[in-house]
Structure 1
């Protein structure tokens, strides 16, 4: 065993095999040895965050683009600071690796239980137990178990697409370990080929016999990394298909047969009638949330429904409980499943709307979303926070080839700001655009400083209506608790440019002609490599069209 290859080096090599080249986090004395190893690794970069919650959110955004992410905190205070972000990654099936620095064994067991960052009782396993509820694997590394445990935990994160917790004592990080003799096993779980063949035959027979088959795609397809495969299969078969609310931005809508977004059986959209009247409905990656309704509700069962979940499939003839989604998607793509007897065409897509500026007209939500959609172009990445933005963006005319990242299940306000940072690090090419409400921005605004330090030049659109508008709608009435502080949002970029090196742009927008000028200046800022923030001043009671519809 070579003394120049250490546990920290082993962990970094395995993280690189997951496609990770940046590690987020907040320094602490129990994790400094590992951070030093990151800093000296030519293929790895350290990205320091302003707090642990932001680090968890940044890792979440990075993993959504690159497939996996890692971030570092110190034990105790760092763990609990990150917990809200880890919970979101668990709920949204995002594989992140939380590396928590522990005091070394020489500190823990020498009669000094009241180590700082701890609860003062000498029990450093509390945090591992806490994280057992919101991660799929946990471990405390030792010099003896490090290699095997790192491999086990990272494989769990990759295969199950959820976060894991890895405690790294500071003396273990610098302990020697044998170099791995093979790459990390990231293959999907094996399945019974006989069972898979039987399943494929039944699905194929159902499709051949169907007169009106439809495919309903939910967020599990994206979360488990099968958008390309499912999209290719839909293109080849020509099957009509729709998405749920959560998966609205996941597949390319240019794929033939697209029906639109299925938003419960009460919604008056073309997708509903065809989904509800399908004689074979294949639901892929279905998740249970409050937006599910009708045949998009996982509780709905019927002889026409075929469910494909991450680790099983359910047909009316029985359940196949040991089939990974990877195997089922591969089987769907094989010719033996054939084509339906009758091809169905999708309704004509709505033409992209134009925008005629009315000088001096105060901006309103519906006009704003139309204009923002028209300024997007192929290759853009748009990160949208929970609330007004997540609803309004769905009425925008978003071009094909635009990536939209949202957090629907966890719906934590403030997630989008660090998530944008993570997405930029994962894919620095193309424009990155953030849409965030004033209340959400306040939770994680500090990470704009990290964007500037990292040299990123996103466009940040802040919706300033002075309150938590979505909560007013959720509660069915206007409440004082939803009225919030007032900031000079347009001045925030300058606040975080303390040395005056980055020259970010900040503009306040009230009218439609203000918006035109601001978008033009923001485009030039992007060309110049400068961050731009547009503060969009809106009326406190103005809401997107779809949000008004929810309240009826």
Structure 2
């Protein structure tokens, strides 16, 4: 008889255990800043793993970078800060991750357990002896906020990570300095965390109900939302789009999830802000309509101007599904979308193919005044012709994001933005995280001057990492989207004028090519130079009129106003 294997009696530390669990979930980088209360934790995490530390210039940027990293790798990311002053700086980023379903693990180095238990008046605290203030704040913007204790540390870590992955929401793990180095059994690490397992009974009930609901409908319309990105379900969306009788529209936060040249692609749907009347009619009048990973927020529904009834539709969400109001709980989006594809494939008789959606060929854009002022009417068509297939286009909230929505992107492109939380400055650090998650992918960032002034410091880290994005800085002298909403001449709409093209050198990379374009002819010339030098990052300042804006943003501002 073969003897039973000896039990694993090896140990690691709490910090080492956390780091190895993150590695098992596919995390390769850790973002953050050091502080005296997290130094022991960082030492343990990094010593026990191959995780790579990516230091940011501030905790807000680190949180944004982790968010971009999680979105592109379609899995959790980690950001480490210190107690109090560090973690509070990251709260805005974590709130954005919560609003937009991004699983960021916020690890906070706390003071030693003994100091907290006696209410010591420590630095970085509120000097009132209460060390629970910031955990309670974190609980409002995370799916789980726990302080790890020596007793039960591995269980607390595992539960938090499972929550992050299962809900696609951020979680908070506070680790006291003494707990970070506390020894714990390493044996649980031999059993990978099992995540996203749907209830088998709910799945079969849903399958039966879905087949009955769809019936023999010759046409099924799917509205695809951003939560599909969080679960890495783009391939399954393409399989569904390939079925006879299926059309797919997307929300603005998931534009280009399905190639815009695809014959089943209806385009972007946003209620009354939908650019194509055909797209709006197709979604609002769909019978049946499937909502897949959709978020019914104001900016994604055209200020709630959608004309379809979610309660009369099939609604597939992260951890449940509904059919005409009947709920199926314990059913994850991966499973419900797979069942949708199988039910569509099993239809008998199979519907015939729908008429092909012809996508008009892109005609070359000829500016009316090549040497006149550069405007959005010329910027976006010229950028569209310049973009390569497979590019990641990152677009800041405001003029940049809504200009990007007017593009017909080449095949394989993705659009990264933050239309729900819409925190200005998000995209520059998020570009850092996104490019580390998907190294080698061509990346173009378009960001306004007001937004960039919040987070521009992270440009230094982007360039120091050897990353090569093309950064298009839209200099329109302030907050154009706010001017469009109200009081365009108000002093609070202005920003300080910076010498933008000197910033790469000031932030540590004097060899970075910089350009300035004030006319359509300038832009064509500059984009040609950038394309001819793909091995280097490029920083391009675009000078646009103060009050000029894409048509879709003007419409949005009118709605908000």
Give the TM-score normalised by the residue count of structure 2: 0.91
1:345 maps to which residue? Answer: 355
CA distance in 2 between counterparts of 1:471 and 1:145 reads: 50
2:270 to 263, 272, 275: 263
- Shift of the 495–2 alpha-carbon distance from structure 1 to 2, 3 Å rule, reads farther
Residue by residue over 1:259-279, the C-alpha shift from the partner in whole angstroms, topping out at 9 and shown as x without a partner, is 112221574521111222222
2:99 maps to which residue? Answer: 91
Q: Would you say the 8 A contact 1:95–1:164 is kept in 2?
A: yes
Q: Would you say the 8 A contact 1:257–1:345 is kept in 2?
A: no
Cα drift, residue 437 of structure 1: 0.3
Moved more, 71-80 or 449-458: 449-458
Equivalent residues in 2 for 1:30-69, closer than 5 Å: 30-41=37-48, 43-66=50-73, 67-69=75-77
Q: Does 1:10 align with 2:17?
A: yes
CA distance in 2 between counterparts of 1:139 and 1:120 reads: 22
CA distance in 1 between counterparts of 2:304 and 2:88 reads: 39
CA distance in 1 between counterparts of 2:305 and 2:346 reads: 25
1:300 to 278, 302, 309: 309
Cα drift, residue 178 of structure 1: 0.9
Cα drift, residue 185 of structure 1: 2.1
Q: Does 1:128 align with 2:135?
A: yes
CA distance in 1 between counterparts of 2:325 and 2:424 reads: 42
CA distance in 2 between counterparts of 1:100 and 1:4 reads: 23
- Shift of the 396–252 alpha-carbon distance from structure 1 to 2, 3 Å rule, reads closer
Q: Does 1:479 align with 2:487?
A: no
Equivalent residues in 2 for 1:466-545, closer than 5 Å: 466-475=477-486, 477-497=488-508, 503-527=511-535, 530-545=536-551
1:79 to 84, 87, 96: 87
Moved more, 19-28 or 279-288: 279-288
Q: Would you say the 8 A contact 2:243–2:344 is kept in 1?
A: no
CA distance in 1 between counterparts of 2:303 and 2:506 reads: 49
Cα drift, residue 484 of structure 1: 1.7
- Shift of the 337–458 alpha-carbon distance from structure 1 to 2, 3 Å rule, reads closer
Residue by residue over 1:323-374, the C-alpha shift from the partner in whole angstroms, topping out at 9 and shown as x without a partner, is 2222211212225752453432343113123134665232111111111122
CA distance in 2 between counterparts of 1:537 and 1:453 reads: 27
**Unmatched runs of 5 consecutive residues or more in structure 2:** 1-7
Q: Would you say the 8 A contact 1:448–1:496 is kept in 2?
A: yes
CA distance in 1 between counterparts of 2:57 and 2:445 reads: 19
Report the 3-state secondary structure (helix = DSSP H, G, I; strand = E; otherwise coil) of the residue aligned with 1:147. Answer: helix
1:229 maps to which residue? Answer: 236
CA distance in 2 between counterparts of 1:475 and 1:203 reads: 47
CA RMSD of superposed structures (Å): 2.4
Alignment length (residue pairs) = 544
Q: Does 1:324 align with 2:335?
A: no
Cα drift, residue 280 of structure 1: 0.9
Residue by residue over 1:441-460, the C-alpha shift from the partner in whole angstroms, topping out at 9 and shown as x without a partner, is 00000001111221212111
Equivalent residues in 2 for 1:320-469, closer than 5 Å: 320-334=328-342, 338-339=346-347, 341-356=351-366, 359-469=370-480
Report the 3-state secondary structure (helix = DSSP H, G, I; strand = E; otherwise coil) of the residue aligned with 2:36. Answer: coil
Q: Would you say the 8 A contact 1:312–1:324 is kept in 2?
A: yes
Q: Would you say the 8 A contact 2:244–2:352 is kept in 1?
A: no
- Shift of the 108–312 alpha-carbon distance from structure 1 to 2, 3 Å rule, reads closer
**Unmatched runs of 5 consecutive residues or more in structure 1:** none
Cα drift, residue 175 of structure 1: 1.3
